[in-house]
Amino acid sequence: MDALNSLRTKVAKKVLQKTLSVKNGETVTVESWNNGLEFARVLLAEARAMGTTAVLVLEDEGAYIEGVKRSPKNTLGKMGRNEYGMLKGTDAYVFIPGPLLAAYQTKINPRLMSDSTRYNSSWYDAAKKAKLKGARLTFGYIGEEMARIMGRTVQQVAERQLSAALVNFEGISRRARRLSSSLTDGSKVSVRAGGARLEFILKGETTIEDGVVSPQDMRAGNNMTYVPPGFVSKGVESTSASGTLKVSKSVTRLGLLSDATLTFKEGRLVQWKSKESMPMLTKLVTTVPEQKRRLTILNVGINPRMGYLFGQDRMVAGSVTAGGFGITAVVRGADLTVSGRALVTAGNL
């Protein structure tokens, strides 16, 4: 436990000092669900030791579930003046989410869960308007249900993610910049893995998650970041994908997808197969309207301290992830080439 407390302290200091550049006299708000409270307490103590005015907001899971089930429809998922006021008065915000907000959870039916989080865009709009800097600690998403399907314990996942947060942020940022310089609009991409090959054209926004909210990020409106980092994502021209993608074991909103083979034509997902998870795969695909089953995003992981099936596969260095069609399709051991240049070889950057 002493080792875990030491790890929490190191990460808390890094989030405050490196990610958010918190200064003496500033205001810090820590929002946590029950499973993140131990880390939140450490973070609060470190923030106050730095001379900040820091407060802790608890989202109790039991109360949330009861509230979602009993709230009138006209108030469910809406922000109030109290929360807007809190954001307006905050310089730095640290969010430790709960398992109910994860991709996979079974305690609240999906429709109710979606309705209860309608505030999402309003929250981010208010946070940008307030010019606060924020960090999201992703270990909080992992509860017993999700840890179990990954073959882990909650503590194993939390420790691995916290350890991955101690990666050198400057090194992550340099790697992200080099990678993003190759992911330019109009570039032709090829992903090869397991004997399959998928090709498409890049077009659209580039996002870098390097664990730091920089002045440049603030000017661009990117005031929230993930901890641990990191990945680079790039938009895909929605009619360009053609070929086949071999998907590795991936966590989905319905559970663990063991394998999948996805075939695209003119950007659209036209065929899907799975040796071990066909019913799940079919349900995942068919809940997305046919016209929206398109590859629209490419993600490349860049964190050498992250591992697979610890809740953030898209951050594993050398992982290639495709999305936009109802599944976060992780490909391990892939060869990724962009305009003829190899960016990932056999899953290595």
pLDDT tens digits for 143-184? 999 999 999 999 999 999 999 999 999 999 999 999 999 999
- Strand pairing partners for 269? 264
CA–CA separation, 185 and 133 (whole Å): 29
Last residue of a domain, one of 139, 166, 193: 166
Instruction: Please name the residue ranges forming H helices in 37-192.
Output: 37-49, 61-70, 81-88, 110-116, 120-130, 144-149, 154-164, 169-182
Residue with tokens 């101690």: 166
CA–CA separation, 252 and 328 (whole Å): 7
**Domain-embedded: residue 126:** yes
Same domain, 113 and 187: no
Identify the band that residue 326 occupies on the pLDDT scale cut at 50, 70 and 90.
Answer: confident
Same domain, 156 and 266: no
pLDDT attached to residue 208: 96
Same domain, 313 and 223: yes
Last residue of a domain, one of 166, 200, 220: 166
Same domain, 135 and 197: no
CB neighbourhood size of 80 (10 A): 10
pLDDT averaged over every residue in the chain: 96
Same domain, 194 and 159: no
Same domain, 162 and 175: no
Determine the structural domain holding residue 65 and report its residue range.
2-166
Mean pLDDT, rounded, for 252-264:
95
Same domain, 224 and 161: no
The tens digit of pLDDT for each residue in 53-91 reads 999 999 999 999 999 999 999 999 999 999 999 999 999
Q: How many domains does the chain have?
A: 2
Q: In what helix (H) or strand (E) does residue 278 lie, and over which residues does it extend?
A: helix 278-286
CA–CA separation, 267 and 54 (whole Å): 48
What are the residues whose beta carbons fall under 8 Å from the beta carbon of 49, sequence distance 6 or more? Answer: none
Same domain, 45 and 89: yes
* pLDDT > 90 in the chain, percent: 94
Mind giving me the DSSP string for 195-231? TEEEEEEEEEEEEEE-S---HHHHHHT--EEEES--E
CATH number of the domain at 106, please. 3.40.1830.10
**Domain-embedded: residue 212:** yes
Last residue of a domain, one of 166, 185, 220: 166
**Domain-embedded: residue 137:** yes
Mean pLDDT, rounded, for 15-31:
98
**Domain-embedded: residue 349:** no
CA–CA separation, 142 and 208 (whole Å): 23
Same domain, 37 and 132: yes
Same domain, 273 and 246: yes
Same domain, 139 and 217: no
CA–CA separation, 147 and 158 (whole Å): 10
**Domain-embedded: residue 162:** yes
pLDDT attached to residue 1: 63
Same domain, 177 and 267: yes
pLDDT attached to residue 104: 84
